[in-house]
Structure 1
Amino acid sequence: MMILKVSDLAVNYGAIKAVKGVSFEINEGEIVSLIGANGAGKTTILKTISGLLKPVEGTISYFGKDLKHKKASHIVAEGISHVPEGRHIFPGMSVKENLQLGAFLQKDRTQVKELFTEVYSQFPILRQREDQDAATLSGGEQQMLAIGRALMSKPKLLLLDEPSMGLAPIFINKIFEIIKAIKNRGTTVLLIEQNAKKALSIADRGYVLATGEIKMEGTGAQLLASPAVQKAYLGG
């Protein structure tokens, strides 16, 4: 089943056309990756899907519902969670308090407890650090916290923006294993990632963006094998 369909999406930053007529789709249970150079429009697309930016043209359909005019909080309630570039955890608050903020729409205390159990099983280090100030975590632990916080809203679609940025290699590998595990638990993932090789290696399908437009699409394996993608993004 198609979970998200983006059609002819155009987004401007003032006079700058950041996204120009982009169309793509995501099926339930997939990892779909958007790759491209800085400034290609990847983050803009994620922000528009999650309601932080408004398009000038095009449609965003989620399970057949139009998201174009919905507020960001309503989009979260519909089942879309966004893990932004840079993590944006809340300093001065504990790990547990950060996670609780992710569950702000959940009214059932029993369900919140179940969500904590699920997140702690996925990220055991967060259970060990639950009373610690989130700002004192390592970069990799903060990324796990940002993903865990998003999972506390029980999303059907998880938007991940540059989850490996600034992390040590050991944490990069761990983060990609976590993304695969999230998919295996039934959450669909839209992934933006500068590490194109890693992103395409776990993606069911991918799209290549350049200057706000989609230039190529295919399975993760097809794009990994593409000479054009290798030359532009994989150092080949």
Structure 2
Amino acid sequence: MTMLDVLDLSISYGAIEAVKGVSFTVNEGEIVTLIGANGAGKTSILRTISGLNRPKKGDIKFLGESIIHKKPQKIVSSGISQVPEGRHVFAGLTVYENIEMGAFLRKDKQEFKKSIETVYNHFPILKERKNQDAATLSGGEQQMLAMGRALMSKPKLLLLDEPSMGLAPIFIKEIFNIIEAIKEEGTTVLLIEQNANMALSIADRGYVLETGKIVIEGTGKELMKNSEVQKAYLGG
């Protein structure tokens, strides 16, 4: 079943056209990755799915319903949650309080405790540090916190913007293992990632963006074997 349909999407900032007629789909239960150089339009697409940008033209359908005129909080409550680039944890609040912030739209207080336990199962370090100021965590731990916070809204679709950026290799591997575990538990993932090798190694399908257009698409395995992708993104 198609969960997300991006249809002929164009996004402009003044005279600059960042995204030019992009179309792609994300099916339920998949990890789909968008790869491309900085400035290719990847983050603009995620921000538009989240309702933070408005497109110049095109449509975005989530579970068959157009969301381009919905407010960001309505998009979250419909089942989409984004982990932004650069993590953006709330300094001055504890790790636990940050996690709690992810559930602010939820009404089911009974399920809340279960969700906290799920987050702690994925990220045991957050349980250990739950009373610590979020700002004192390492970069990798802050990324885990941002992902845990996003999972608290019980998203059907999780949008991840550059989860490995600035992290030590040991944390990168751990983050990608957790993304796979999140998928196994039934959450669909749309992933933007500079580390094309890691992204394609876990992705069911991928799309390559260049200067605001999709130029190649295929399964993760196909793209890893593609000579153009290898040359441009995989150091081949």
Q: Which TM-score bucket, shorter chain as reference?
A: over 0.9
Unaligned runs of 5+ in 1: none
1:72 and 2:61 matched: no
Work out the CA distance in 1 between the residues paired with 2:97 and 2:71. 24
| TM-score, with length taken from structure 1 | 0.99
Counterpart of 2:55 in structure 1 is 55
1:204 and 2:204 matched: yes
1:134-186, CA deviations, whole angstroms, 9 ceiling, x for partnerless residues?
A: 00001100000000000000000000000000000000000000000000000
1:112-147, CA deviations, whole angstroms, 9 ceiling, x for partnerless residues?
A: 111101111111110110000000001100000000
Counterpart of 1:116 in structure 2 is 116
Work out the CA distance in 2 between the residues paired with 1:122 and 1:37. 30
Work out the CA distance in 2 between the residues paired with 1:199 and 1:139. 19
- CA deviation after TM superposition for structure 1 residue 14, in Å: 1.3
1:186 and 2:193 matched: no
Work out the CA distance in 2 between the residues paired with 1:73 and 1:108. 17
1:45 and 2:74 matched: no
Work out the CA distance in 2 between the residues paired with 1:226 and 1:118. 37
1:71-90 equivalences under 5 Å are 71-90=71-90
- CA deviation after TM superposition for structure 1 residue 108, in Å: 2.1
Work out the CA distance in 2 between the residues paired with 1:137 and 1:102. 18
1:163 and 2:188 matched: no
Work out the CA distance in 2 between the residues paired with 1:122 and 1:169. 18
Aligned-pair RMSD on alpha carbons?
Answer: 0.5
Unaligned runs of 5+ in 2: none
Work out the CA distance in 2 between the residues paired with 1:216 and 1:91. 40
- CA deviation after TM superposition for structure 1 residue 12, in Å: 0.5
1:83-129, CA deviations, whole angstroms, 9 ceiling, x for partnerless residues?
A: 00000000000000001110001122211111101111111110110
| TM-score, with length taken from structure 2 | 0.99
Q: Count residues in correspondence.
A: 236
